[in-house]
A = this chain, B = another copy of it.
Amino acid sequence: MASNSSSSSDDNAPVRVGILGCGHVGSALIELLGERARAIETASGVRLEAGAVAVRSISKDRGIELDESLLTTDAEAVVADPSIDVVVEVIGGIEPARSLVLAALKSGKPVVTANKELLASVGSELYAAAEANGVDLLFEAAAAGAIPIIRPLRESLLAEDVRSIIGIVNGTTNYILTRMAEDGATYADALGEAQRLGYAERDPTADVEGFDAGAKTAIMASIAFGANVVAGDVYREGISTITSKDIESAERFGYVIKLLAIASVFDAGTDEEEIGVRVYPAMVPVSHPLASVRDSFNAVFVEGAASGELMFYGRGAGGQPTASAVLGDLVDAASNLQRGAFRPVPSGPRPSIRAIDDLESAYFLNITVGDSPGVLSEVAGVFAENGISIRAMQQDDTPESEASVAFITHQGRESDIQATLSRLKEHDAVKSINSVIRVIES
C-alpha cells in the first residue's frame, strides 16, 4: 500500500546480508527477513536478501526454515565475501565480534549490531572506523531491544540539550521486582520464577548485579552526550540485596523499587561538563511514568531542556523484538548504502566522569535503634551534622526494646550520606542499618 521510492525498480539489485551468529536473535531475524522482504521493498525500494549465515555448528536445529547452503562456520569468509553488502553481528561478546565488525567496516560494508558488551567497551574504536570508511554502524537493538531509543537520540534529539536519561533497561530485574511488589514474592522466589520462564539465566549475575544495564547506560550516555562513555565508567549496584520489607516500605511511602540506569550531564564551570553514569535500585514515585513499567517491559525516560520529559517504552529483549530493531537498522543501512550516504555516530572524546561520591540523590534508610527516650533526636542529629536533611520519618512495629525507623532524606551528596552511615554504625543507640536505597523525586 506504500509508494515506491524513487530508487525502486524491477531490476533493483538485492542487498545481500551476511549474518554473523544464529541464536535467538539471528534466527528470528532470518524468519522476519523472509516474511517482510516484499513489504520492505514496497516501502523503501530496498530488496534485502540473506546471503550467508555464520554459525558455530552447521547441524544444530534452529527451528526455522533456512536454506542450508547459506550456512558456514567461517565468519571471516562471510565478512570478506564480495557478494555480501551488509553485515549483521549477533554473536555477542568482544572477540571475535570486534575483529569481524572492524573488518567489515574497513572493507566499506555497513554493520548492524545488537552487541551491547562490544559497544560499551570498544564502541569508540568502532564508531571511528565506521566514520573513517564512510559507512553506517547501527545498533538500535543494543540499548533497549525493540524500543527505538538510539535513533531518536541520534536524530530526533540531536539538536536537543538532553540533560538526563533514566532507564529501566533490564527486563529480568524488572520482572523480579514486579513479582516481589505485586505478588509479595521473595527475591529468591521471583528469581526462580524468572529462571523457569527463561527471563533469567542460570547464572543471573549479569542481569541482577546490573552489568547488562551498565553496558546499556554507557551506550546511551555516549550517544546522548556525544562522549565516549564505557561500561567501566558506570557505578553499579544490583538488586540482590532488595528485601520484601524494602518493597513494603517503598509502597508505604508511595514508591515502587526499580533497577535504574541513569546518565546525567552536569555543568562544571565555563564550557566544562561532567557526566554521571550509574545503575542502582531506586524508589520511584508511583506517579512517575517509569513506575508503571511492569514485568519484563523496559522504558527509557529522557529529559531535554526544550522537549521536556519524553519516555520510550516497549520490549527490551526477546528474539522477535530484538530482530525487529535489527531489521529496522538493516533497511536503513542498505538504503544509505545504495545512495552512498551514511550518518556518523555522535560520540566523542573521553568525558570527565563525576564520581559517585560527588553525585546527589535522596535516600531511603531503614535502621534499628534502641527504644529509649531521646534516641530519635540523637539519630536525627547525626544526619544534620553531615549536612543531610530528613524529609519523612516513620517508626515501625518492632519488639519492645528496639524500634525500626524509616527515613527519607532530601537530596544529598553520596559522600555525605556515606559519612552519615559511618557515624550511625558507630553510634551506641543504633543496633543495625537494614536498608539504604536511593530515591528518585518526581
Give every chain B residue within 8 A of A331 (Cβ-Cβ).
158-159
CA distance A356 to B299 in the complex (A): 34
Residues of B within 8 A of A292 (CB): 289, 291-292
Interface size class of A (residues with CB under 8 A): 35 or more
CB distance from A412 to the nearest CB of B (A): 28
Residues in B neighbouring A161, C-beta threshold 8 A: 35-36, 39
Q: Which residues of B are found within 8 Å of A367, using beta-carbon distances?
A: none
Interface stretch (choices A58-66, A149-157, A191-199) = A149-157
User: When the two chains form their complex, are residues A324 and B307 in contact, meaning their CB atoms are under 8 A apart?
Assistant: yes
Q: Given A156-B148, A159-B328, A328-B157, answer yes or no on A321-B344 (Cβ-Cβ < 8 Å).
A: no
Q: A227-B1, A321-B306 are in contact. Are A159 and B315 (CB under 8 A)?
A: no
Q: In the complex, how many angstroms separate the beta carbon of A186 from the nearest chain B beta carbon? A: 23
Whether A332 lies near B134 (C-beta < 8 A) is: no
Q: List B contacts of A289 (CB < 8 A).
A: 292-293, 313
* Interface flag for A346 (CB, 8 Å): yes
Residue interface mask A130-174, B partner, CB < 8 A = 1: 010010000010000011100110011111110000000000000
Task: Decide yes or no whether A312 CB sits under 8 A from chain B.
Answer: yes
> Known interface pairs A226-B2, A304-B324, A306-B323. Does A158 touch B311 (Cβ–Cβ under 8 Å)?
no
Which residues 109-125 in A have Cβ within 8 Å of B in the complex?
A: none
Q: Decide if A204 is an interface residue (CB 8 Å cutoff).
A: no
Kindly state whether residue A389 has any CB partner on chain B within 8 Å: no
Contact partner of A309 (CB less than 8 A), chosen from B155, B156, B315, is B315
Taking the complex as formed, is A392 at the interface, i.e. its CB lies under 8 A from any CB of chain B?
no
Whether the Cβ atoms of A344 and B158 lie closer than 8 Å is no
* New A-B contacts (15) at CB < 8 Å, excluding given A1-B351, A307-B315, A312-B312: A1-B273, A2-B347, A3-B347, A32-B306, A39-B161, A40-B159, A43-B159, A146-B310, A156-B328, A158-B331, A160-B324, A160-B327, A289-B292, A292-B292, A306-B324
